[in-house]
Structures are given as C-alpha cells and as structure tokens.
Amino acid sequence: MMSQKFNPSRWAVEHPQLIGFLMIISLIAGGWQFTNLGRAEDPNFTLKSMTISAQWSGASPDALQAQVIDPLEQELRGIEFLGPVRA
C-alpha cells in the first residue's frame, strides 16, 4: 500500500477545536503585540546640519567673500569633527 502524504487541510478539518483555539491565541497575541508597538513618529536620532547666511548691505559680493565668507569658512574647516564644508 502506498503511504499517503500529510495533508494539512484535511488535518485542520478533522481537528476544528484545536484550530479554533490556535486562532484565538493568535488573535490575542497579535492584539497584545499591536498595543506594544512603538509610536515614535520621528526617528530617535538627529541629523545635524547647519546653514550659514551672511548679509552686508551695500558691500560688493567680492568684499563680502573676502571679509566675511572666507574667514568664516577657514574657521569652520578648523573644527575637528565637522564634516564637509560646501561654499
């Protein structure tokens, strides 16, 4: 006689009480886990970036570059843990 393969559908139909119990346990466990989900809308880390703006009314762009922007950029490049500086 040929051995029959295990048929999970037939087994489930033949054991309705056990399947019902497992379904109830799954629903309770799922509901409990849903109530314990994290609700953080924003991530727990901070992306640190900085934008520097300089205005000097009446100064030419070359004067602003030479007297404000270049010295400020040199100071920022001297900071050890600062990432790339873009002008």
CA dihedral sign of residues 73, 74, 80, 85: positive
CB-count exposure of residue 68 (10 Å: 0-12, 13-18, 19+): middle
pTM over 0.75: no
Residue 46 has pLDDT above 70, yes or no: yes
What does the alpha-carbon distance between residue 25 and residue 22 come to, in Å, rounded to a whole number? 5
Which pair of tokens denotes residue 2? 């040929």
Give 36-45 pLDDT, tens digit per residue. 887 766 667 7
